[in-house]
Amino acid sequence: MSQLRTVPPTESVTGRATKVTDDLYFERLDDPYCLTSWHWCTDGKVWRSLPVQYNEVQQEHPLHLKAPTLFSCCGLHGWVRNGKWEPA
């Protein structure tokens, strides 16, 4: 399935995703325990989602996560601090 790179698949539905970079968004969907992260994966050129447990969230606005984020699919690795991405 090909995807448009512009926004994550759910963004056009919910309009609630928080943009961190052009390639990384976080979104509160219906799961009470997790945020959903979306990244544009260079492995396959698709948007991939991964859950982020709420206990990893220091602050939601601006988004600040306690631990670095590692996407093993493509090796994207870094910190989300004060709504900004800092590569690890």
Q: Which residues partner with 23 through β-bridges?
A: none
CB of 37 to Zn ion, least distance (A): 10
The mark string for 12-51 relative to Zn ion (x by CB under 5 A, - otherwise) is -----------------------------x----------
Q: How far apart are CA 33 and CA 36, in angstroms?
A: 10
Q: In the range 46-85, which residues lie near Zn ion by CB under 5 A?
A: 71, 73-74
Give the three-class secondary structure for 71. strand
Q: Which amino acid is at 73?
A: C
State the residues that interact with Zn ion by CB under 5 A: 41, 71, 73-74
